[in-house]
Amino acid sequence: MSLVPDGLKYTKDHEWAKFEGAVATIGVTDHAQRELGDIVFVELPKVGATVTAGKSFGTIEAVKTVAELYAPVSGTVEAVNTALAADAGVINQDPYGKGWIIKVKASGGQEGLLDAAGYKALI
């Protein structure tokens, strides 16, 4: 059974977002990291890049597959988790904590995002 914390928003593409004011911390869900297997690399956008809700902002690579990462919200990248360059596997160990991927200053709302109950129903 996958871990789905309350208080986060989720996409149908298995990303999560934690909103603190206008800034959203974004990562992949526990379900996604389990499906991917051992994560070995994450392609990150540059700080200052613009991301668009529902569009790819990078890729996540596991031993057996590569998957697109989709932005839950539109906005400007304020920070990237540079620790993932040294050890992307931290996403497997702590997807909702140390395994965060980017922080975005959101320019749009949270339309189309699921709450924990909605995401549990999806998976």
Banded pLDDT at 110 (limits 50, 70, 90) = confident
Q: Where are the domains of the chain?
A: 9-109
Whether residue 111 has pLDDT greater than 90 = no
pLDDT, one tens digit per residue, over 34-75 is 999 999 999 999 999 999 999 999 999 999 999 999 999 999
Q: Which CATH architecture has domain 9-109?
A: Beta Barrel (2.40)
Which among 110, 85, 114, 117 has a CA at the least distance from the CA of 13?
A: 114
**Opening angle at CA 85, ends 59 and 93, nearest 5:** 80
